[in-house]
Amino acid sequence: MLEQGDVRFFVMTDAERLIRNFARVVASAPYALAPERADELQEAVFEGESWTLALEEGPAQATARVDRREIVVTFAALLGLWAVARAAMIAGVEAIAASRADRRILDSGPNSPMAEALALIAAAEALIRDPCAAWPDGLPHPDAAAPEGSDDWRVNNVFLGAVGWICLHEVAHIHLGHEPDTTDALRRRQENEADSWATRWVLDRAPPDLRREFRVFAIAAGLAWIALVDKVRRGSLTHPHAWERLGHCAQVFGTEELSPGLELSTHAMKACFFPHDPIEDFETPQEAFFGTLFAASRLPR
């Protein structure tokens, strides 16, 4: 079982204050993302033992402590993920509505939904630069108790789906016996192996309906946040770039050309990296996804 580790509170940052009420559901996120495999995760991967999920202060990141069977996620990472999840939801709804109305430009003027989305992305980037960054006035706060069916509840689902996939990626490092201290080339290969393992775990037995599409979107939202980390920190020799990772994971998605999950994922990418570009007239969501992925891969690193 993945259990919540000890949380020690000292000088509380905004990230900790705003996200600490999610601690319990964050620990269950890997189970909730693929509930049909919850028993298998407990018995075949965790081998009936308890692993620790530690929520800590520190730079925005998630890491696996292989020797201790412990996964560490920082409050700054979680709040940034929540911000990206909310921005992705807003951008998806706005872009789909615009496309249906044959509009190519999204309104990002004052008080518009897209203005909020862009402010959320900027807040996520600020937390990557400084985990003690103040949460901007006027932006909504995460609500762990959001009523079922509400917009906040839907955002929470995407957020927890992204967290679940990221935690499973870290679980994979431990389960596959990866070496934390090795060459840069091997560490990059291990990152790809962990991405593939987590993505297959989530999708291989997913129901062939909108629940599977949701999981695709949640994985893409998690990787969009990782891409922001790459953007702010200028990448790393030990990790493939996030766009390379998303393309690698997309080979596992197995989605149809008209996939709603890919359509929403495309708009999430555009909101993070091309927010003011016109909506391109692609034939299918699949074509739009890979076209946007290619454009993002050419951004400066």
pLDDT of residue 2: 63
- Kindly state the percentage of the chain with pLDDT values over 70: 96
Q: Which tokens in the block code for residue 254?
A: 């197995």
Order across the sheet with 62-65: list the strands.
2-4, 51-56, 70-74, 62-65
* Tokens representing residue 87 in the block: 């921005």
- Specify the pLDDT at position 50: 82
Residue-level pLDDT at 104: 87
CA distance 18 to 123: 13
pLDDT in tens, 95-111: 988 888 888 888 899 99
Q: What pLDDT shows up at residue 7? A: 54
Q: For the stretch 263-273, what's the b/e string if a residue is b when 16 or more beta carbons lie within 10 angstroms of its beta carbon?
A: bbbbbbbbbbb
Report phi then psi at 135, rounded to 5.
-75, 130
pLDDT, tens only, 43-88: 999 988 888 999 999 999 999 988 888 999 999 999 999 999 999 9
As a whole number, mean pLDDT of residues 297-301 equals 80
Residue whose C-alpha is closest to residue 146's, from 238, 237, 22, 256: 22
Per the CB < 8 A criterion, the answer to whether 290 and 113 are in contact is no
> What does the pLDDT read at residue 5?
63
Q: Which residue has the higher pLDDT, 88 or 236?
A: 88
Q: Which residues pair with 55 in a beta bridge?
A: 73
Q: Does residue 25 contact residue 160 with C-beta atoms inside 8 Å?
A: yes
Contact between 120 and 139 under an 8 Å Cβ cutoff? The reply is yes
Q: Identify which of 62-76, 140-154, 249-263 has the greatest average pLDDT.
A: 140-154
- Is residue 216 a contact partner of residue 265, using CB atoms and an 8 Å limit? yes
Lowest average pLDDT, out of 132-141, 178-187, 281-290, goes to 178-187
Cβ atoms of residues 229 and 128 within 8 Å = yes
- Please give the structure tokens belonging to residue 73: 């996620």
Query: What band does 4 get if pLDDT is binned at 50, 70 and 90?
Result: low
Please give the structure tokens belonging to residue 116: 């909020």
Decide if 142 contacts 19 (C-beta within 8 A): yes
The position carrying tokens 């766009």 is 243
Q: How far apart are CA 205 and CA 210, in angstroms?
A: 13
162-190 tens-digit pLDDT: 999 999 999 999 999 998 888 888 989 99
Residues in CB range of 130: below 8 A, 6 or more apart? none
What is the reported pTM?
0.93
Q: State mean pLDDT over 120-137.
A: 97
Q: What does the pLDDT look like over 19-39, one tens digit per residue?
A: 999 999 999 999 999 999 999
pLDDT, average across residues 230-252: 86
SS3 content of the chain, % helix, strand, coil (to 5): 60, 5, 30
